[in-house]
Structure formats: structure tokens, C-alpha cells
Amino acid sequence: MLEVAFNTRRGSFHLEIECRFASGWTVIFGPSGAGKTTLLRLIAGLDLSEGARPQSARVILDGRALTDSATGLKLKPGRRQTAMVAQQSALFPHLTVAANVAYGLTSLELDARTTRVFEMLELVGGLRLLDRNPRDLSGGEAQRVALARALAPHPRLLLLDEPFSALDGAASDALLIRLQQWATEHQVQTIMATHDATDPLATAAEVALLHEGRLAALGPAAEVLASERKRLLERLG
């Protein structure tokens, strides 16, 4: 379970939110500029800039405080059991795909590390990319590898910021289904930001509806996105 409370400003934008994410799979839905990325980065312990540091902040995962501005606590991203995948893959350009995925697995023995790399690349449909360099990957391939790298250490919390934007609809849907199954099996709580209503509706997710830095609604996708579902059906005729 994840509990968050933030009150932060970045220029004229004001993010003020306090809620509890109890579902294993939550989608943060809202238009561009609603605060989705800001929220995910603050949960991950990544301040966007000096001016974006929160006036008050609290992040509690499974009863363990990760951030608490009242006491000055702010665990570094690497100590949070949290992984984040953004739209930009940010792969290490000097490492192969396999080495990128293995980067956070130094605690594993070599055989176990190799097995884990193969498992994660197979999950995201990227086994054929094993020996490739990041510069030789398409945008969609790079996103698959970035996801595999984030999953490899088996984080407790996975944060996804429009992670499939470079994939076509069918590929995105197939990967999303496999990822949700894997996350459920390994008890990895997942929070995914998107502005595409088909993602939460397809996965029957809990939805946090964000509007201008505020939480407008939190609940089942069919309820929170009822108007979006109606609009999509009308577009389909």
C-alpha cells in the first residue's frame, strides 16, 4: 500500500494531493499538464528542480516512510525499492542491452544475473535485442529494454510514465497485459500515468483522476472514466 501527501509549487503550477493507493494496479489519468509526471517523480524521490521541491511531502510504502518533510527524511531513489520508467528510455549508451538490464543486479551471482536478464527481456519481447547497443534500437525497442531494466531487480513499487508511447496499439496492449500479469504474480504495486483512457479501461484498473494538480476522483476505471468510455464508444460508432 502506498500513501502520499504533497503540497508543492513549480512556477504557477500547484500540486496538492493526499491519498492512499491500495490497489495493485493504479492508473493516474489526466490531460497534459495535470501533474502526472510531477507526482510520479516526487514519489520516486526525484525533485524536478530546486523550485519544485515540496513545501510538504510524505511518502509511505507498506508502512515504511520514504519521504517525510516534517522530519527531514528523504531516502535516495536507490533505497526505495522503487523503479520508474519514463517516456525517454535513458539507457546507458556505452552498454549493450544485456548489460543495461543487468545493471542493477550486482547482488546476484553471475548465473542468476544472466537468468534474470533473459527472463526480463523475454517478458517485454526483447530477447532478440540482447547484444544490441542502445543507439541501434528504435524508440519502441528502447522502451522495452528500459522496462526490462526497471523490472529486473524486482522492485516493490513500479512507476510508469507513459512507458509505451513509442509502441503501436496492438504491441502496447499485448505488453501491458503481460506486465500486469507479471506484476500481480510478483506482488509489485504499479502506478502508471497516461492520458489514454483505453489503458485503464482495458486493464480494469483503479483510476486516480488528476486535474490541475488536484485529485478529482479515485476508484474503479468503469466508474471514474464513465464519461471517457462513453466518448470512446461514440467515436467508434
Read off the pLDDT of each residue in 108-120 and give the average, rounded to a whole number.
95
pLDDT at 89: 82
Side chain identity, residue 166: A
Which one, of 162, 207, 182, 180, lies nearest residue 21 by Cα?
207
Of 83-92, 116-125, 151-160, 190-199, minimum mean pLDDT range: 190-199
Of 69-78, 113-122, 171-180, 219-228, minimum mean pLDDT range: 219-228
Query: pLDDT per residue over 20-77, tens digit each?
Result: 999 999 999 888 889 999 999 999 998 744 445 567 899 999 999 999 999 999 999 8
Read off the pLDDT of each residue in 142-158 and give the average, rounded to a whole number.
95
Chain-wide mean pLDDT for the chain?
87
pLDDT at 54: 63
Q: Which residue has the higher pLDDT, 40 or 89?
A: 40
pLDDT at 111: 95
Chain centre to alpha carbon of residue 13: 22
Side chain identity, residue 49: S
Q: Which residue has the cell 510520479?
A: 40
Residue 139 near residue 166 (C-beta atoms within 8 A): yes
Q: Is the pLDDT of residue 123 over 60?
A: yes
Q: Is the pLDDT of residue 104 over 70?
A: yes
Instruction: Give whole-number Cα distances, 159 to 40, 42, 90, 163, 236, in Å.
Output: 7, 11, 15, 9, 31
pLDDT at 53: 58
Q: Is the pLDDT of residue 229 over 70?
A: no
pLDDT at 224: 79
- Classify 160 as helix, strand or coil: strand
* Strands, sheet with 64-68, edge to edge from the N-terminal-most edge strand: 13-21, 2-10, 56-61, 64-68, 73-74
